Structure 1
Amino acid sequence: MPLSRQLGLSLLAVLILVFIGTLWINANNTRDFVDQQLASHAQDTATSLGLSIAPYMANEEDLPVVDTMMNAIFDRGFYQSMVLKDAKQNVLLEKHNPNSVEGVPLWFLNLLPLTPPESTTDVNDGWTIAGTLTVKSHPGFGYQQLWLNATQAFWMILAVFIVALILLYALVRMITTPLLAVVKQADAISKQQFEQIGVIPRTPELKRIVVAVNRMSAQLAKLFNQLSNQAERYRDFAYKDQLTGVANRRAFELAFEQLLADSEQHAQGYLLLVRLTSLNEVNTNLGYQAGDEYVKLVAQELQNVLTQADLNGALYRVSGADFVVLLEDTAQQDCIAFTQNVIAQLNAIEKSEYRLGTAHVGVGSFSFGDTRTDVLERADNALSGASVATDRWQLAQQKDQHHSNTEWRTQLNTILQQNHADFVAQPIKNRQGETLYNEWFARFSAAALTGDDDEAQHYLPMGQLVPASVRLNYAQKLDELLIASALTRLSSHNHAIGLNVSRLSLSQTSFHQWLIKALPQDNAACANLVLEIPERALVNGTEELTHFIAQLKSKGVRITVERFGAQLAAITHLRKIKPDYLKLDGRFVRNIHNEPDNQLFVQSLVNIAHGLNIQVIAEMVEDEAEARCLLDLFVDHLQGYHIGMPTDTKV
């Protein structure tokens, strides 16, 4: 029971007891007083009447006179009975009034009974006793007076009681409101939400408590911000070019190696190698300061073009005169349009001192399984051709045969019509070897789609299928198919399953509504589902996405933010969505035991996550040295070929 209720009920019980006790004492004292008054009244009447009738008691013929005198007093109605007896106790005269009481409830008569005594006086005839007179007052008037007094006392005490209740409520509120605010703030602090209590109580003791908790919250907020800033500084120092502020060559190598080796995403796209062809001449003729301004100007233009384009791209400075733009999951036509836009913007800022032109661009494609050297060589060869081309850019010749959009649309329609997906599962385990959940990766048999038994062991390349679904606006339908297929098998597996959801699907309200309806009604079943959402969805997320994730968590679904660390801006969104797990971007995991900078950065991310009560998963763990290093950095769970190979999920 809450403290406010305990305190309120306790004080209310005290007030009720005081109310009842005060009313009872008042009524009981009034009853005693009325009893005494009735007795005194009867005695006085008996004495005075006895003296008045004494001269007439000797002669029986005078009894009518006595009767008249008794009637004169008795008829006033204040007496219940009058009895006159002679010396031998024979009744001479007797008068009685009914025992009824008007205007007073029967329960009140039973609760507070009046017992007026009979007062007796001797009637003397000279020196002898001629008889006795007994008088008993009628209790009706006493009851009426007692009832009137009781009702007046009741309403007066009730008014005081109501005022006391109001004061009691104000007192309880005054005590418990700051305490509840402190409890709420403490709970918020545990969730890394460092709020401040705005209303400071005036009571000195409560004021000191609230001020102390506010001070603690402010200090913890400062420490958390310092930790976040420290992680940002680590990242900037190790992975950012100091002149332009864009990512440096080290960041490019880590990101690109991870992209080419990511068996989960099967990424494909294009690499743009941008070379500042006039930089050496500017440095020689105008000095390095002018050269630096040249580099910063080009970097700013490239950033602007990349920001305006609705593409999944990143900019890197890989050498003094070279920039690289990675366009992930991008179609060839979109890449060509982007490159032409880049050239147009660079030509627009061209100056007379750039005698060899502002820049030239070579474009090469990449896909899962390529090597970084081959892709760069491809782009460099295209750059050589661009240096003599009128357009100042060139696309390397494609060696791989890719499906056309028409062919991919046919394949995707066939997949959706079959309404079935196959999966392989890879476990995520903790340091004790216990499985947290299995991440499921979709695959589609080429034989099932084409009917050719010769392709029974072949599967469609997901590295081309997924980008094609994005390009052709099938991403949401494909996600819905994969999730629906997985949900049908949810109860038949011992471990929870993890599914990836694309950023495009997460941005659609229709997908939110579909998924909420598709989930099982049983929260225990939903607890076996883990949805993995990309970090980039948080950076570009909205309040609608935050609400959607809150709905999922309320049903028991767990949330993992994957590829975390690539964009630290997502840290500010973690407090809102409160994910269960963070999965570190594979670029920081690969060969981490030989990368001190990556170790410092990962450790800072782990500290931030643990401060938010979020567990950390490291993916793409390929050998024992990487696993041991990650566990030493207090990473909670590991995933990769060293931890467990993907296996078939068929039952």
Structure 2
Amino acid sequence: MSLYKQLWLAIVFLLTLVFCVSVALSSVSAKRYLEQQLAIKNSDNATALAISLTQQDADPVLMELTLAAQFDTGFYELIRLTGPDGAVILERRDGSDGAGAPAWFTKLLPIAAPPGVATVQRGWSQAGTLEVRSHARFAYDELWQTTWNQALAFFLTALATGAVGSLLLRRLLAPLAGVVGQASAIGERRFVTLKEPHTREFRELVAAMNRLSARVRAMLASEGERLEQLQRATTADPVTGILDRSAFNTQLAGTLASDDAGATGSFCIGRLTELTRYNQAYGRQVLDAVLASAGRNLNTLCRDRDWSCGRLNGSDIALLAPGAEDPQAVGAQLQDVLTAAFTTHDVQLPEIPVSCGEYQPGDRPGDLLTAVDAALQGAERGGSGEIVLAQRGTTTPVREQLERWRTTLAAAFAGEGFALVTFPVLEHGGAVLHREALVRLREGAELRPAAQFLPWINRLQLAGELDRRVVDLALRLAAENGERLAVNLSSAALADDDFPGWLDRRAAAANTAGQLAIEVAENAAYHHMPSFRRLCAVAHRHGMQTGMDRVGRRLADLGQLHDVGIDYVKLDAVFVRDIDSDDTNQNLLRTLSTLVHAVGVTVIAEGVENRAQWRALEALGVDAVGGPGVRLTAD
């Protein structure tokens, strides 16, 4: 029972008790008062009647007529005249009740007033004794009416007081709802803060919980920044701050091996020519400042777009742009950033040739680097600082491909053109945590992987529609196999203000919503954080789990997750590569696992290829794993 109801019951009980005691005391007091008045009336009436009979010389006939007339007025219960010897000379008695008060009331409060007694004289001798008792029904009626009026007045007053008290009670208990909500949020790993209420007890409680939330937020923020600094110290080029060659090659290999929209994109290399001569002319310190400025700007450019940049050697800067459709436009951005760095420091602008190319699913890192580097050498020999496109065989014109995919995808959306394939995510004991549900495109008897059609989905702006289709398919599949399924939503779901409402309605209409896990890529979640919070709130309302995918690029932003309440994070497969032998990534993942475990979040590693990596991840505190090696184990 809620505190509000308990307080109301206590108030009703106290009011009822006060009412009963008040009515009882006032009724008893009124009863005694009426008894006293009846006793006085009886005495006065008996005296007056006895004087009247004495003046009539106690004539028997006149006495009978006088007493009968008096009795017939209806105000008397008994009039009795007894002789000196005690014999009854005359008696009139009214034995009827006739009271307007209920019988139970007259029994509960009996009015017992003593009769009035007076002596009737005949000359100097006593003619008899007169006993008069007034009827109590009038007193009962008055007592009942008084009690009823008092009860009615008390009831009306109680109603008015209850209405006012209800408003006051709601106002006083209003902070309690916030406190309960805050406690529930903390239980759901959402460390929110509230405005402190005026009530002292609530204020102290809210202040304590606010301090806890603030400490968690500060811990996530500070530790996230420390992790990112550690990551930079071990993977970044010391001059520019962008990835060094080894880290960039790892990132490139992971991107090309992915099975999502990032498996297609653009890759560019820009070359800073004559760095040796510039170093001699301007000094190492100035040139390092130019390179550092270029690195900061490149990191900003990549951070907002989920791209990657790296320094392949002293003069070559690479830019990897997953999902970018126009490689020459990406090359122009790389060239503009490098040019701006020299201009900012008033250093003569060198020739900055840029080569670029488009990569496709299945491309190998070595082949891509070779093709783009060959184009770069040709651009450098031209000496014009132009942007050249690496030729990698004949391809169908983009417009023709776009129309073909438009037709194919329209048919897929119109029918049952999409399907889900599931892959297990296992805990270290072998239990299935959930199954990843990845979307595939039906083409005849084959299922095309997402990397082949997701880029065209994005170009045709159909990602939001695909997200809805994926959720519908997952709900249907969960109803069939009874397993928990994890589906990955695109940034379009976060950019669409109507999607949370659609998900709310769809989950309410389904019986299997609680078997779903909704996850969003790290960069998309941070880029649309308010929308991500709303999406997580809707999912949690229906028992869904929520997670963040491809975590590891923006560790400094972990503090933003303090009030989201996600259930798990999935580490980017780049950090899992060679984890059994890479001490740098081992330290990073161990610290990251400890940090997110502190706020009750599960850590999952993706891209696990073999048992050695699995064992290493278990030792580092990762809770579950997924990837090709895990699928083989599960099979």
Q: Same fold (TM over 0.5)?
A: yes
Q: What is the aligned length?
A: 628
Deviation (angstroms), 1:407: 3.6
**1:366 aligns to what?**
359
5+ residue gaps, structure 2: none
Instruction: Give the secondary structure class of the aligned counterpart of 2:130.
Output: strand
8 Å Cα contact 2:197-2:203 kept in structure 1: no
Deviation (angstroms), 1:532: 3.4
Deviation (angstroms), 1:477: 4.7
**2:391 aligns to what?**
397
8 Å Cα contact 1:617-1:635 kept in structure 2: yes
**2:454 aligns to what?**
466
One of 486, 490, 515 as aligned partner of 1:502: 490
Q: Structure 2 vs 1, CA of residues 353 and 253 (structure 1 numbering), >3 Å: closer, same or farther?
A: same
Pair 1:142-2:133 in alignment: no
**2:197 aligns to what?**
199
Instruction: Give the secondary structure class of the aligned counterpart of 1:631.
Output: helix
Mapping of 1:526-537 within 5 angstroms? 526-537=513-524
Pair 1:31-2:41 in alignment: no
1:343 and 1:229 map into 2 onto residues whose CA distance is 30
One of 402, 425, 430 as aligned partner of 1:428: 425
**1:452 aligns to what?**
none
Q: Structure 2 vs 1, CA of residues 274 and 478 (structure 1 numbering), >3 Å: closer, same or farther?
A: same
Superposed CA deviations along residues 206-261 of structure 1, whole A, max 9, x for unmatched, are: 66555555544544444444333333333343344454444444542332121123
Deviation (angstroms), 1:130: 2.7
Superposed CA deviations along residues 274-310 of structure 1, whole A, max 9, x for unmatched, are: 22224322221221121123213434565677689xx
Superposed CA deviations along residues 134-173 of structure 1, whole A, max 9, x for unmatched, are: 2111335534653565467557766886798689769967
Superposed CA deviations along residues 357-403 of structure 1, whole A, max 9, x for unmatched, are: 25221224434444433333332222211213324332222137467
Superposed CA deviations along residues 610-629 of structure 1, whole A, max 9, x for unmatched, are: 34433221111112221112
Instruction: Name the amino acid aligned to 1:382.
Output: A
Instruction: Give the secondary structure class of the aligned counterpart of 1:26.
Output: helix
Instruction: Name the amino acid aligned to 1:607.
Output: T
2:572 and 2:535 map into 1 onto residues whose CA distance is 24
Instruction: Give the secondary structure class of the aligned counterpart of 1:594.
Output: coil
1:423 and 1:48 map into 2 onto residues whose CA distance is 110
Q: Structure 2 vs 1, CA of residues 473 and 12 (structure 1 numbering), >3 Å: closer, same or farther?
A: closer
One of 497, 509, 516 as aligned partner of 1:521: 509
Pair 1:547-2:534 in alignment: yes
**2:584 aligns to what?**
597
8 Å Cα contact 2:268-2:327 kept in structure 1: no
One of 322, 334, 337 as aligned partner of 1:328: 322
Q: Structure 2 vs 1, CA of residues 111 and 320 (structure 1 numbering), >3 Å: closer, same or farther?
A: farther
Deviation (angstroms), 1:99: 6.7
8 Å Cα contact 1:427-1:639 kept in structure 2: yes
With 13-22 and 475-484 compared, the bigger mean Cα shift is at: 475-484
2:141 and 2:337 map into 1 onto residues whose CA distance is 104
1:343 and 1:601 map into 2 onto residues whose CA distance is 33
1:29 and 1:461 map into 2 onto residues whose CA distance is 93
Instruction: Name the amino acid aligned to 2:13.
Output: A
8 Å Cα contact 1:192-1:612 kept in structure 2: no
8 Å Cα contact 2:217-2:559 kept in structure 1: no
Question: Cα RMSD over matched residues?
Answer: 4.2
Q: Structure 2 vs 1, CA of residues 46 and 465 (structure 1 numbering), >3 Å: closer, same or farther?
A: closer
One of 268, 273, 278 as aligned partner of 2:269: 273
8 Å Cα contact 1:347-1:358 kept in structure 2: no
Instruction: Give the secondary structure class of the aligned counterpart of 1:592.
Output: coil
2:498 and 2:177 map into 1 onto residues whose CA distance is 39
Of all paired residues, the percent bearing the same amino acid is 27
Q: Structure 2 vs 1, CA of residues 397 and 495 (structure 1 numbering), >3 Å: closer, same or farther?
A: same
1:321 and 1:563 map into 2 onto residues whose CA distance is 30
Deviation (angstroms), 1:85: 4.8
8 Å Cα contact 1:268-1:328 kept in structure 2: yes
Mapping of 1:481-492 within 5 angstroms? 483-485=471-473, 487-492=475-480
**1:296 aligns to what?**
292
**1:388 aligns to what?**
381
2:565 and 2:241 map into 1 onto residues whose CA distance is 30
With 7-16 and 339-348 compared, the bigger mean Cα shift is at: 339-348
Q: Structure 2 vs 1, CA of residues 78 and 232 (structure 1 numbering), >3 Å: closer, same or farther?
A: farther
Instruction: Name the amino acid aligned to 1:392.
Output: E
Higher relative contact order (CA 8 A, sep 6+): 2
Superposed CA deviations along residues 65-110 of structure 1, whole A, max 9, x for unmatched, are: 7855996x779876444343556846458597997568x7888667
Superposed CA deviations along residues 11-53 of structure 1, whole A, max 9, x for unmatched, are: 4313311211221122023213322431343134324543553
Instruction: Name the amino acid aligned to 1:279.
Output: L
Deviation (angstroms), 1:546: 3.7
**1:379 aligns to what?**
372
With 421-430 and 571-580 compared, the bigger mean Cα shift is at: 571-580
5+ residue gaps, structure 1: 449-455
Pair 1:558-2:545 in alignment: yes
1:407 and 1:115 map into 2 onto residues whose CA distance is 110
8 Å Cα contact 1:405-1:468 kept in structure 2: no
**2:41 aligns to what?**
41
2:92 and 2:341 map into 1 onto residues whose CA distance is 132
1:43 and 1:28 map into 2 onto residues whose CA distance is 23
One of 268, 279, 282 as aligned partner of 2:278: 282
**2:481 aligns to what?**
493
Pair 1:613-2:600 in alignment: yes
Q: Structure 2 vs 1, CA of residues 556 and 588 (structure 1 numbering), >3 Å: closer, same or farther?
A: same
1:532 and 1:507 map into 2 onto residues whose CA distance is 15
1:552 and 1:495 map into 2 onto residues whose CA distance is 17
One of 605, 608, 617 as aligned partner of 1:630: 617
**1:642 aligns to what?**
629
Pair 1:338-2:330 in alignment: yes
Q: Structure 2 vs 1, CA of residues 387 and 304 (structure 1 numbering), >3 Å: closer, same or farther?
A: farther
| Superposition TM-score, scaled by structure 1 size | 0.81
Deviation (angstroms), 1:637: 1.2
One of 390, 397, 407 as aligned partner of 1:413: 407
With 269-278 and 39-48 compared, the bigger mean Cα shift is at: 39-48
Pair 1:437-2:431 in alignment: no
2:342 and 2:220 map into 1 onto residues whose CA distance is 45
Q: Structure 2 vs 1, CA of residues 181 and 249 (structure 1 numbering), >3 Å: closer, same or farther?
A: same
